[in-house]
C-alpha cells in the first residue's frame, strides 16, 4: 500500500504521488507487508477467516520486548486480550492513573468509559504480584483500550482499509514499580529496531539547542490573553466614557468619527445611544461600544488607504485618526487593548513575571499589533496566536455561527472537507461545517501563517487539535488518506512552523505521535472533561462552567466553580493519579491543562492542582485580561515564586521515580534525574501533617539552586 506524503514545505499537488517519509516506508516494509502472526496466516492457508481475538499468555512473556502480530479478517476487528488476574492497572488516562482492581467504583468508571483512546500515550502496565506486564501499541491509530471483565487492546478498521496499519502489540515483563511502564516505554522507544509509527525521542534539551528562544518556556506560566487588541473599555478613562459617547454620536458623517460609527452594528449603535444618554458608564454598554471600535479600527474603509498597504499599517493609521479626533477622551494609542496590550505586559513584568508563554485567545487575524509583539520580545516573553485547521465552515455562515480559524474560501469548503466512506462530509467540531483535510489545508496554512508573521513576528504558535492525534479516514478522490497519513501531514505542518519560521510550537494534546515536533501541549494533565457531567452545562447547577459572555472575560474561562463530585475521582484525586505521561515524555514535551480548565477554574481544587503542578513539574495555566489581573495577581505570584525557579532546573530532567510515603497515599514523592544528581519533590496533599511534612505542602531536596525549598498551599 502506498502512502501519501509531503515535503516539509507542503504536500505535492501534482498527479503523481510522492514517496512517503523514510521512517514510514521502513515500518510498512517490516510490519505491514512482511509480518503477520502465524495464527492469521495459518487460518488463511486453510481458507478459514482469521481469528478476531487472542489472549496473551503471561508465561510466554519475558523481560525482553516481544512483538505479537495479527492479521485482520473480514470483520475488520481484532482484540488482544491481556491476562486476567492483575491486581493493579497503570493506564494512560488523564496523564496517568493507577487503578486497584479490587475497587468496584474505579472498575465501574473504567467500564463505563470504555473504549479509551491510546493516541496520547500507547502504553499500559498490569501488575501481577511482584511483576508488571508492560504492553505497548506501536500503531495506535486504529487501536483502543477496552475494559469489560478483562482488559484488551482492540483494533477496528473501516471497510477496505483493514491493512492500514499493522495489528500488533509489544509486551514484556518488568518489576513492580508503578512507573515501570513508563521506563520500559522509554527504553523501547530509544532502542527498539522498529518503533512503528512512534517517533524516536527528541528530548527537550535538543529542542532548546535547535531553537534558542524555546528556553523561555522553562519556568514560564502559560497565559491566555482575553479581550480586544485594538481598543478596549480600559482605553477611555471611566469618567470620560459618557462624554466620549456623546462626541462619537455627534460626529459629522464625513469625519473619521462619523465613519467609525457608520460601521457599527445596530446593537452597537443602540449601546452608543444609551451610553451617551446615561449618567454613568455601565460596563455592559462600554464593552459593546469598545468592541465596535475595536472591529472598526481594522477596516480599510475608514480612511480609504491604498490596497497595497499591510493590515497592520491600516490599523496604525486608523488608531492615529481616532486618537487625533478624540484625544481629549481617550488614552494614548500605545496603551490600547485589553489582554493583548502593552499595558498588561508591562503590569506582568512590573510584578516580577520575567518569563511567560502568552497566547491570544483566538487568531486575532484582523487585530495585528506588531508593537505588542515587539514589547513581548523585549520583556523576554513568548507570544503567539491560537490557530486551527481542524474545521472548515461555509463562507456564507453568519458571524455567530462560525469562528475565525475555520473561515476559508469556497474552494476550501467545497473541496477540502474530509469525506466519509458513503460520500458524505465528515461533520466538524460542534456539528458545524466539516473537518478540514490536512492535505487540502496546506496552502491555507502557508498563506495564513506567512501573512501574519510578516506583519507581527510572533515567537510562538499554537495549533488547536493536531497533537491530540484525532485523525480521520478520508475517502475523498482528491485527497484520500488513512488515519496514519492524516497524522503524517499534521506532523509535517507542525514541524514546518519550527523549521521554517523558528517558532516555539504548541498544540492541543501531547500525543507521543507528535512529541518530537511540538514544544508544549495543552490538555494533558487536565483533559477536556466538560462533556462528562451534565452540571457543567446546566445554568442552574453550581458546576455550570459559564457563558461565553462577556466577550472580554467570558465566564467559561474566568468563572470559578466547584468540580462535580462525580469527577473528583479519578481526574483530580492524587491517590489515583500518577505521573505516567510525565515519566514517559515530560522531558520532551512541556505539558499542562486544557484551556477550559485553567489552574484557577475549580475553586475547591486550587491547592490540590497547584501541588500536582509542583510534584509533576507541570506549568500552571491562567486566563487574564486587564480587569482580572489585579484580582488574580497575588495567587499567581505566590505560586510562581516557588514553581518557576524549580521548573527552570527540572524541565529538561527526566522524572525517574514515584512513591507513596503514607498509607493513605496522600504523601507522595517524585524524583528527577539531573546532571548534578537526583532532586526529589515531596508533597503532602492531606489536611494534616504526615511523614514529617506539613499539611498541603511541597518540599524540595537535592542539589538545586532554588531560593525556596518548602511551599505551603492554601487549603
Neighbours of 143 (CB within 10 A): 25
Whole-number Cα distances in Å, 230 to 293, 298, 306, 336, 338: 8, 8, 21, 6, 8
Task: Identify the band that residue 518 occupies on the pLDDT scale cut at 50, 70 and 90.
Answer: very high
C-alpha cell at 685: 496533599
Confidence at residue 72, expressed as pLDDT on a 0 to 100 scale: 87
- Condensed to tens digits (0 to 9), the pLDDT of residues 170-205 reads 999 999 999 999 999 999 999 999 999 999 999 999
Burial class (CB in 10 A: 0-12, 13-18, 19+), 304: exposed
Contact 288, 271 (CB under 8 A): yes
Neighbours of 243 (CB within 10 A): 16
The H or E element containing residue 143 is: strand 143-147
d(CA 589, CA 581): 10
Q: What are the extents of the domains in the chain? A: 1-34, 35-198, 209-227+340-390+436-712, 233-335
Burial class (CB in 10 A: 0-12, 13-18, 19+), 347: middle
**Is the C-alpha dihedral spanning 13, 18, 24, 27 positive or negative?**
positive
**Mean model confidence pLDDT for the chain:** 92
Q: Which fold has domain 209-227+340-390+436-712?
A: TIM Barrel (3.20.20)
C-alpha cell at 500: 521554517
d(CA 222, CA 212): 18
C-alpha cell at 261: 460609527
Strands 710-712 and 697-702: what pairing?
antiparallel
- Condensed to tens digits (0 to 9), the pLDDT of residues 388-407 reads 999 999 999 887 789 999 99
C-alpha cell at 207: 529542542
Residue with C-alpha cell 513508563? 182
The pTM for the full model equals: 0.92
Instruction: Check whether 715 has a pLDDT greater than 50.
Output: yes
Instruction: Check whether 25 has a pLDDT greater than 50.
Output: no
Say whether 122 sits in a helix, a strand or coil.
Answer: coil
Say whether 603 sits in a helix, a strand or coil.
Answer: coil
Contact 232, 338 (CB under 8 A): yes
Contacts of residue 609, defined as CB under 8 A and 6 or more positions apart, other chains included, come to 526, 572, 599, 602
Q: Following DSSP, what letter does each residue of 223-280 receive, concatenated?
A: EEE-S-SS--GGGS-GGGHHHHHHHHHTS-TTSHHHHHHHTS-HHHHHHHHHHHT-SS
Say whether 314 sits in a helix, a strand or coil.
Answer: helix
Instruction: Check whether 50 has a pLDDT greater than 90.
Output: no
Amino acid at each position: 500500500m502506498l502512502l501519501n506524503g509531503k515535503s516539509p514545505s507542503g504536500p505535492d499537488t501534482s498527479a503523481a504521488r510522492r514517496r512517503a517519509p523514510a521512517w514510514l516506508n521502513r515500518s510498512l516494509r517490516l510490519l505491514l507487508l512482511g509480518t503477520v502472526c502465524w495464527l492469521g496466516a495459518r487460518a488463511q492457508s486453510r481458507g478459514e477467516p482469521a481469528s478476531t481475538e487472542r489472549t496473551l499468555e503471561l508465561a510466554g512473556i519475558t523481560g525482553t520486548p516481544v512483538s505479537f502480530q495479527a492479521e485482520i479478517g473480514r470483520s475488520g476487528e481484532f482484540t488482544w486480550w491481556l491476562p486476567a488476574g492483575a491486581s493493579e492497572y497503570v493506564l494512560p488516562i488523564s496523564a496517568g492513573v493507577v487503578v486497584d482492581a479490587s475497587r468496584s467504583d474505579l472498575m465501574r468508571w473504567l467500564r463505563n468509559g470504555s473504549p479509551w483512546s491510546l493516541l496520547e500515550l500507547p502504553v499500559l502496565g498490569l501488575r501481577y504480584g511482584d511483576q508488571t506486564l508492560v504492553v505497548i501499541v506501536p500503531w495506535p491509530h486504529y487501536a483502543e483500550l477496552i475494559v469489560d471483565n478483562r482488559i484488551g487492546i482492540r483494533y477496528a478498521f473501516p471497510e477496505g482499509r483493514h491493512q492500514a496499519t499493522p495489528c500488533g502489540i509489544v509486551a514484556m515483563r518488568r518489576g513492580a514499580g508503578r512507573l515501570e511502564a513508563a521506563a520500559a516505554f522509554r527504553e523501547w522507544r530509544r532502542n527498539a529496531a522498529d518503533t512503528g509509527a512512534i517517533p524516536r525521542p527528541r528530548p527537550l534539551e535538543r529542542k532548546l539547542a535547535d531553537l534558542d528562544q524555546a528556553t523561555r518556556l522553562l519556568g514560564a506560566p502559560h497565559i491566555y490573553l482575553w479581550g480586544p487588541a485594538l481598543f478596549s473599555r480600559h482605553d477611555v478613562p471611566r469618567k470620560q466614557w459618557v462624554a466620549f459617547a456623546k462626541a462619537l454620536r455627534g460626529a459629522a458623517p464625513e469625519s473619521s468619527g462619523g465613519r467609525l460609527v457608520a460601521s457599527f452594528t445596530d446593537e452597537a449603535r443602540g449601546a452608543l445611544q444609551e451610553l451617551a444618554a446615561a449618567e454613568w458608564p455601565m460596563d455592559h454598554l462600554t464593552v459593546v461600544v469598545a468592541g465596535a471600535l475595536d472591529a472598526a479600527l481594522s477596516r480599510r474603509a475608514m480612511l480609504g488607504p491604498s490596497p497595497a498597504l499591510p493590515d497592520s499599517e491600516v490599523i496604525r493609521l486608523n488608531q492615529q485618526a481616532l486618537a487625533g479626533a478624540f484625544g481629549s477622551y481617550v488614552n494614548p494609542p500605545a496603551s490600547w487593548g485589553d489582554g493583548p496590550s502593552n499595558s498588561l505586559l508591562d503590569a506582568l513584568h512590573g510584578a516580577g513575571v520575567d518569563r511567560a508563554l502568552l497566547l491570544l485567545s483566538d487568531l486575532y487575524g484582523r487585530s495585528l499589533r506588531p508593537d505588542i509583539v515587539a514589547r513581548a520580545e523585549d520583556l523576554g516573553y513568548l507570544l503567539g496566536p491560537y490557530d486551527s485547521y481542524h474545521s472548515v465552515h461555509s463562507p456564507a455562515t453568519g458571524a455567530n455561527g462560525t469562528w475565525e480559524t475555520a473561515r476559508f474560501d469556497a474552494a476550501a469548503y467545497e473541496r477540502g472537507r474530509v469525506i466519509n466512506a458513503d460520500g458524505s462530509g465528515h461533520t466538524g467540531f460542534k456539528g458545524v461545517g466539516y473537518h478540514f483535510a490536512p492535505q487540502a489545508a496546506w496552502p491555507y496554512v502557508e498563506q495564513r501563517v506567512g501573512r501574519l508573521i510578516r506583519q507581527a513576528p510572533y515567537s510562538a504558535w499554537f495549533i488547536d487539535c493536531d497533537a491530540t492525534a484525532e485523525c480521520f479516514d478520508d475517502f475523498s478522490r482528491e485527497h484520500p488518506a488513512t488515519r496514519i497519513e492524516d497524522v503524517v501531514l499534521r506532523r509535517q505542518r507542525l514541524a514546518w512552523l519550527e523549521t521554517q519560521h523558528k517558532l516555539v510550537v504548541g498544540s492541543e494534546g501531547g500525543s507521543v505521535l507528535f512529541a518530537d515536533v511540538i514544544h508544549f501541549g495543552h490538555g494533558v494533565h487536565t483533559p477536556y472533561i466538560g462533556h462528562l457531567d451534565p452540571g457543567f452545562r446546566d445554568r442552574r447547577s453550581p458546576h455550570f462552567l459559564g457563558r461565553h459572555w462577556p466577550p472580554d472575560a467570558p465566564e467559561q474561562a474566568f468563572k470559578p466553580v466547584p468540580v462535580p463530585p462525580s469527577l473528583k475521582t479519578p481526574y483530580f484525586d492524587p491517590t489515583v493519579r500518577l505521573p505516567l505521561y510525565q515519566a514517559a515524555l515530560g522531558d520532551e514535551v512541556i505539558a499542562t491543562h486544557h484551556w477550559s480548565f485553567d489552574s484557577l477554574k475549580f475553586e475547591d481544587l486550587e491547592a490540590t492542582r497547584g501541588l500536582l503542578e509542583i510534584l509533576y513539574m507541570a506549568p500552571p495555566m491562567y486566563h487574564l485580561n486587564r480587569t482580572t489581573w489585579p484580582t488574580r495577581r497575588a495567587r499567581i505570584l505566590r505560586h510562581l515564586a516557588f514553581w518557576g525557579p524549580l521548573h527552570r532546573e527540572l524541565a529538561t530532567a527526566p522524572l525517574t521515580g514515584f512513591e507513596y510515603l503514607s498509607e493513605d497515599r496522600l504523601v507522595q514523592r517524585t524524583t528527577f534525574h539531573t546532571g548534578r544528581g537526583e532532586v526529589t519533590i515531596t508533597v503532602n496533599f492531606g489536611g494534616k501533617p504526615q511523614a514529617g511534612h506539613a499539611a498541603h505542602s511541597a518540599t524540595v531536596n537535592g542539589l538545586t539552586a532554588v531560593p525556596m525549598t518548602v511551599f505551603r498551599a492554601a487549603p
